[in-house]
């Protein structure tokens, strides 16, 4: 299935999420409206809310509370993007100028705070303490992951284990939370809730692994951001870590220098080294392993078109080119 075909399984739900997002973005402060709308409607795959919708329907959810839940997940994700782009000094996302590039860092951070607080306002209306606890824990883990990533930056001694810890927190936990709250809203049995949480964790990990590999192999026009952004920021992602471990002295020295100092002076040479030393292939294998575990986690769910959609969404996570 293509991503559009997967979305087609929940077309009405997806349209309802868009309406909720538009309505709940509204603020009496005009600049908040302007910035939030700019980032929310600047493209993106909306994989996280899509996951929530599919998971809820796969659990047999027949009401509409999952619409708000999907919008909450999208608001939290968007808030992290606004903050990330400021921290990373990014100027391009989804093929457009980042919000901080257009409106400035201070505005982006504050509107990110608005989106976080709006998400928590919406959580309260769901009136489910377990959902609030899951999402509160997830947002806390995301913040910890971002700090850990900052600590790893420009550190060539970052290990694979430290890298995986970062992406589990900063990326995978929101996928996990989205799948889990869909089960909670549906009053699914504990086995189904646990299975969906595991599914979300593994697909989220796979998504970030692929994202980090694309930084060294994608076409910039389709990727929607500058190639080598991670390298420019001195981020030791898995393709670099693996290449460091398997290169000769000169290759290791080149990669170590790039991580320590950032910049793109040797991007072409490092990109070739990452590919030739197996960094991309290793990252792809690990991503596929995560997807395989995500697919296995779906086994307890009843056979429905929505379960198939979740399966196809996991496969898309590793097959995508942007």
The three-point CA angle 202-179-192 to 5° equals 90
Please identify every stretch of the chain with a pLDDT value under 70, giving residue numbers as ranges.
Answer: 218-226
- Residue 160 is predicted with a pLDDT of 97
- Residue 26 is predicted with a pLDDT of 87
Q: Closest Cα to residue 251, out of 268, 269, 236?
A: 269
How many other C-beta atoms lie within 10 A of the C-beta of residue 204? 28
Q: Which long-range contacts (CB under 8 A, 24 or more apart) does 39-43 make?
A: 39/78, 39/81, 39/82, 39/99, 39/111, 40/74, 40/78, 42/93, 42/94, 42/96, 43/94, 43/95, 43/96, 43/224
pTM as predicted: 0.94
- Residue 182 is predicted with a pLDDT of 98
Q: What is the pLDDT of residues 33-46, one digit of tens each?
A: 898 888 877 777 89
Q: What is the pLDDT of residues 158-206, one digit of tens each?
A: 999 999 999 999 999 999 999 999 999 999 999 999 999 999 999 999 9
How many other C-beta atoms lie within 10 A of the C-beta of residue 184? 20
- Residue 183 is predicted with a pLDDT of 98
- Residue 226 is predicted with a pLDDT of 67
- Residue 111 is predicted with a pLDDT of 92
**N- to C-terminal Cα separation, the chain:** 17
The CATH architecture of the domain made up of 3-319 is Orthogonal Bundle (1.10)
For residue 2, how many C-alpha atoms fall within 13 Å in the half-sphere facing its CB? Answer: 3
Distance in angstroms (rounded) separating the CA atoms of residues 89 and 107: 14
């Amino acid at each position: 299935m293509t991503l559009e075909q997967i979305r087609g399984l929940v077309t009405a739900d997806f349209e309802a999420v868009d309406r909720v997002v538009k309505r709940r973005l509204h603020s009496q402060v005009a600049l908040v409206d302007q910035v939030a709308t700019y980032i929310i409607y600047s493209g993106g795959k909306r994989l996280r809310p899509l996951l929530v919708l599919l998971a809820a329907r796969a659990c047999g959810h027949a009401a509409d509370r999952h619409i708000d839940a999907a919008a909450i997940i999208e608001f939290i994700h968007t808030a992290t993007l606004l903050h990330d782009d400021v921290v990373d000094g990014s100027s391009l996302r989804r093929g457009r100028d980042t919000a901080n590039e257009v409106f400035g860092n201070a505005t982006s951070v504050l509107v990110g705070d608005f989106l976080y607080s709006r998400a928590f306002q919406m959580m309260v209306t769901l009136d489910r303490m377990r959902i609030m606890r899951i999402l509160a824990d997830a947002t806390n883990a995301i913040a910890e992951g971002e700090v850990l990533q900052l600590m790893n930056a420009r550190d060539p001694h970052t290990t694979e284990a430290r890298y995986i810890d970062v992406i589990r927190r900063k990326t995978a936990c929101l996928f996990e939370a989205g799948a889990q709250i869909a089960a909670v809203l549906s009053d699914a049995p504990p086995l189904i809730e646990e299975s969906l949480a595991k599914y979300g964790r593994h697909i989220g990990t796979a998504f970030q692994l692929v994202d980090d590999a694309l930084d060294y192999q994608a076409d910039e026009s389709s990727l929607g951001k500058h190639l080598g952004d991670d390298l420019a920021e001195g981020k030791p992602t898995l393709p670099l870590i693996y290449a460091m471990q398997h290169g000769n002295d000169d290759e290791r020295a080149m990669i170590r220098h790039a991580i320590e100092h950032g910049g793109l002076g040797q991007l072409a040479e490092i990109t070739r080294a990452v590919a030739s030393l197996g960094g991309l292939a290793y990252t792809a294998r690990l991503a596929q392993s995560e997807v395989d575990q995500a697919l296995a986690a779906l086994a307890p769910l009843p056979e429905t078109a929505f379960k198939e959609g979740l399966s196809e969404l996991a496969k898309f996570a590793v097959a995508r080119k942007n």
